Amino acid sequence: QKEVEQDPGPLSVPEGAIVSLNCTYSNSAFQYFMWYRQYSRKGPELLMYTYSSGNKEDGRFTAQVDKSSKYISLFIRDSQPSDSATYLCASAGGTSYGKLTFGQGTILTVHP
């Protein structure tokens, strides 16, 4: 079993839609949860960072972590064509000492 599972998609939505991206993880020691966005021919850039369970909101983006079910979510409201990218979830914690464990990434396309 992979430590972080993510549906690769692809996911295609119309502009303005609410997008829900999800990951599950298996390592109970994970405490830090991140979402990275990667545009084509670019490196990943940090989008959201959450410690432990709870919600975090930043503009149109909301990250949600439920440690009881080991579920990580990213919601994008009023999606825009510029949101089209690959979204990577990542987790860290316990004895991993900075080692991030990534999901496979979900390819998102927002069409006008």
Partner 1 sequence: ETGVTQTPRHLVMGMTNKKSLKCEQHLGHNAMYWYKQSAKKPLELMFVYNFKEQTENNSVPSRFSPECPNSSHLFLHLHTLQPEDSALYLCASSRNVDSADTQYFGPGTRLTVL
Strand partners, 91: 33, 101
Query: Residue 14 or 43: which CB sits closer to partner 1?
Result: 43
| Member of 85, 105, 108, 110 binding partner 1 (CB under 8 A) | 105
| Member of 103, 106, 108, 110 binding partner 1 (CB under 8 A) | 103
Instruction: Give every strand in the sheet of 54-58, ordered side by side.
Output: 4-6, 19-25, 71-76, 61-66, 54-58
Query: Residue 45 or 57: which CB sits closer to partner 1?
Result: 45
Residue among 63, 59, 69, 107 nearest 85 (CA): 107
Cα–Cα distance for residue pair 18/80, rounded to 1 Å = 10
Would you give the binding string for partner 1 spanning residues 15-54, x where CB under 8 A is met? ----------------xx-x-x----xxxxxx--x-x---
Residue among 107, 96, 87, 75 nearest 32 (CA): 96
Binding site for partner 1 (CB under 8 A): 2, 4, 6, 8, 31-32, 34, 36, 41-46, 49, 51, 88, 90, 92-94, 96-105
